[in-house]
Amino acid sequence: MTISVSIDQGIALVTLNRPEVHNAMNVAMIADLKDTFRRLGSDAEARIIVLTGAGKNFSAGADLNWMQAASTQGFEANQQDAYKLARMLYTIDSCPKPVVALVNGAALGGGVGLVACCDIVVAQGAAQFGLTEVRIGLIPATISPYVTRKIGESQARRYMLTGERFDADTARRIGLVHEIGDDADAIISGLMANGPDAMADTKALIRDVAHAAIDEALLAMTAERIAARRASAEGREGIAAFLEKRKPGWAK
């Protein structure tokens, strides 16, 4: 496996584990990430997923040896390779569990794409970022939907075109990073206090309302979803626990 996975007290730690090449992604790592996030998404033991990198860096993006080999193939083979990367990113982005990125060292190219697919991002103070594809004559195609959604079109125009590196403070300012620190313990603790199903439904809700017109259909959909939550076993337990001044069952 090109990644390592452990689950402890509801927290699944997924670690990119190719430190000798700065956790650059090859075809094996892409497959391992897709399969792991698909599995963890339906694993009741895992309530929160934390993604980080082994060694000094989070991820240098795509493995250039893999990219060079791919460049000698025909268009269809290249397209199939790229589609596997696109599907992996989508699997992380659409995972029903909260996904927290803990970014150490450099996150470049596809590494920024991984970060952008996570719900919450905590970066170490020395972390560096860069959408560096244009520096080697490529484009950030498969990661562009997630990165542009996170940092906005204006910032994407700058950083995707210049290929320049930027620090953790800049990443936080443009919306790629939420917090700067050496761990995500406080955020994870807060997530663990929440209803697991409610968080999954909230992720789906955000995707569905983010770019939707505020019309009668949207009003009806949001009313329907909160009604379903109120009537759910988890919703009833949460309200009862609050009124009875006790912890809900999932927080024990």
Give SS3 for 23.
coil
**Chain centre to alpha carbon of residue 75:** 29
d(CA 7, CA 201): 22
In the set 76, 133, 224, 234, the catalytic residue is 133
- Are 29 and 18 within 8 A, CB to CB? yes
The DSSP result for 52-99, as a single string, is EESTT-SB-SB-HHHHHHHHTS-HHHHHHHHHHHHHHHHHHHT-SS-E
Catalytic-residue membership of 133? yes
Residue 37 token pair: 């996030």
Q: How many residues in the chain?
A: 252
Residue from 54, 81, 55, 47 nearest 67 by CA:
81
d(CA 9, CA 208): 31
Residue from 170, 51, 48 nearest 114 by CA:
51
Look up residue 225 and give its amino acid: R
Catalytic residues: 133
